[in-house]
Amino acid sequence: MKQLWAPWRMEYILGEDKPAGCIFCPWPQEDLQARLILFSGRLTRVMMNKFPYINGHLLVSPLRHVPGLSDLSQEELLDLMLKVRQSLEIMKKVMNPDGFNVGLNLGAVAGAGVEAHVHFHIVPRWLGDTNFVPVFADVRVIPEHFQATYQKLLPHFREMADGG
């Protein structure tokens, strides 16, 4: 039998590393790298999912803590969508996926893990990235440590213009 090692997942399984506050909201004295935040602008922020479905899974959220799209101002909504579009372009350039799943889960029943703060998921996809392992072993294989992916993406997000 072969071993599949993913030691960073134990933090999530045991719940030892779950923050007390909202993961999307700015924190006093926050460490952007420790929180995997790639971009934090005036209205919107982009961060990597610390417990991803697949390598490069991003989360794009407004800075303001609101539960739905209808709670956003026109300016916030436009900036949020522009950051989703810019994030897709960066991911295409850096990670060269064959496609993407992009979406948001509104409400706990729809799968929202943090339903009080609206956010988009950007999940890069490659041909053959899903195989028998998740089906038979209930395990996802993520081939690169999230810190390595963060370091690849960060220079490109530092160039992202705030406001569009």
Radius of gyration of the chain (CA): 16
Distances in whole angstroms, Cα of residue 79 to Cα of each of 76, 104, 143: 5, 16, 32
Q: In this structure, which amino acid lies at residue 146? A: F
Dist. CA 3–CA 14, nearest whole Å: 20
* Token pair listed for 123: 């999940």
- Active-site annotation, residues: 119
Dist. CA 92–CA 82, nearest whole Å: 15
Place of tokens 């998921």: 121
Residue 148: helix, strand or coil by DSSP?
A: helix
Q: What is the DSSP letter of 161?
A: P
Place of tokens 């963060």: 150
